[in-house]
């Protein structure tokens, strides 16, 4: 499976500010996704990061709030904009590999706390 | 839309014993994938085991095995010889195998079962 890293691993931010989370994979992957896991909850898909084009957002998530970039096949960023305490969550990057397209592997996650 | 239900919010097991975590799902599709992921306190989501719906044989990975009942739409996880390191949240997840663009890779997760292992 691919090795996935995320930066930062955790952060504490003030409301109204923005944070950009990076996801780096050690090999080219077919698909990259961003999930949110609110405290004590399961995972919810935010969007699919498309290489070279705009991300595909799920219902309830918008580009102005969660802009996403994917400049190449190994890297993506998720920005959480104009943060509020309700954005306090774990944000996880996941990938579907070039070799195995049926299984998603996850990064270590970024724990975000908004004060 | 597919749904995944994990009816046990919490479970506990004695070390070295066996425990079974339940998962049911609802789908109108005939071909799909099912997964169990483990999330320890470190929050890393780790793939435990996966099952292709077209395979009748239950998947096994060392101490982990599943009981896949396609007609009943049930996908339980059995952990044998439980170890302290097995303590974690366990999530059952469903994925369609029908290719329809990016959405076909979407995982639908259950709410999770918190497993505690008692020394």
Instruction: Round to the nearest angstrom and report the end-to-end CA distance of chain A.
Output: 36
Mean pLDDT for the stretch of residues A35-46: 93
- Identify the residue among B107, B111, B114 best suited for mutation to test binding to A, counting A beta carbons within 10 A and taking the highest: B107
Asked if A43 and B47 come within 8 Å (Cβ–Cβ), the reply is no
| Banded pLDDT at B42 (limits 50, 70, 90) | confident
Confidence at residue B27, expressed as pLDDT on a 0 to 100 scale:
92
Confidence at residue B101, expressed as pLDDT on a 0 to 100 scale:
57
Q: Mind listing the pLDDT tens digit for each residue in B1-27?
A: 789 999 999 999 999 999 999 999 999
Confidence at residue A81, expressed as pLDDT on a 0 to 100 scale:
97
Spatial separation of the C-alpha atoms in residues B41 and B47, rounded to whole Å: 15
Reading the block at residue B56, the tokens are 């009748």
Output the CA torsion sign for A15, A16, A17, A23: positive
Spatial separation of the C-alpha atoms in residues B21 and B114, rounded to whole Å: 10
Output the CA torsion sign for B100, A60, A69, A75: negative
Confidence at residue B3, expressed as pLDDT on a 0 to 100 scale:
92
Beta carbon pairs, A and B, within 8 Å = 54
Mean pLDDT for the stretch of residues B90-107: 78
Confidence at residue B96, expressed as pLDDT on a 0 to 100 scale:
85
C-alpha atoms less than 13 angstroms from C-alpha of B52 in its C-beta half-sphere: 7
Spatial separation of the C-alpha atoms in residues B90 and B37, rounded to whole Å: 6
Asked if A42 and B45 come within 8 Å (Cβ–Cβ), the reply is no
Distance of residue B45 Cα from the nearest chain A Cα, in angstroms: 6
Q: Mind listing the pLDDT tens digit for each residue in B62-81?
A: 999 999 999 999 999 999 99
Output the CA torsion sign for B97, A44, A89, A49: positive
Contacts with A61 from chain B: Cβ below 8 Å: none
pLDDT: which is higher, B58 or A98:
B58
Cβ atoms of B20 and B76 closer than 8 Å: yes
DSSP-based three-state secondary structure for B84: helix
Residue A61 has pLDDT above 80, yes or no: yes
């Amino acid at each position: 499976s691919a090795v996935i890293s995320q930066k930062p691993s955790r952060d504490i931010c003030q409301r109204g500010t923005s944070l950009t989370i990076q996801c780096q994979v050690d090999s080219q992957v077919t698909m990259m996704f961003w999930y949110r896991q609110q405290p004590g909850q399961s995972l919810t898909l935010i969007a699919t990061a498309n290489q070279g084009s705009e991300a595909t957002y799920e219902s309830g998530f918008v580009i102005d709030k969660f802009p996403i970039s994917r400049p190449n096949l190994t890297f993506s960023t998720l920005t959480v904009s104009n943060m509020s305490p309700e954005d306090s969550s774990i944000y996880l990057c996941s990938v579907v590999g070039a070799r195995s397209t049926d299984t998603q592997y996850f990064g270590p996650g970024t724990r975000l706390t908004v004060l | 839309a597919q749904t995944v239900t994990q009816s046990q919010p919490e479970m506990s097991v004695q070390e070295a014993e066996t425990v079974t975590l339940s998962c049911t799902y609802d789908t109108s599709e005939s071909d799909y994938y099912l997964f169990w992921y483990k999330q320890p306190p470190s929050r890393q989501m780790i793939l435990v085991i996966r099952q292709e719906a077209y395979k009748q044989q239950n998947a096994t990975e060392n101490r982990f095995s599943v009981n896949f009942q396609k007609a009943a739409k049930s996908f339980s996880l059995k952990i044998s010889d439980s170890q302290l390191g097995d303590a974690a949240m366990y999530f059952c997840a469903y994925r369609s195998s029908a290719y329809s663009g990016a959405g076909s890779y979407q995982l639908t997760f259950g709410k999770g079962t918190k497993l505690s292992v008692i020394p």
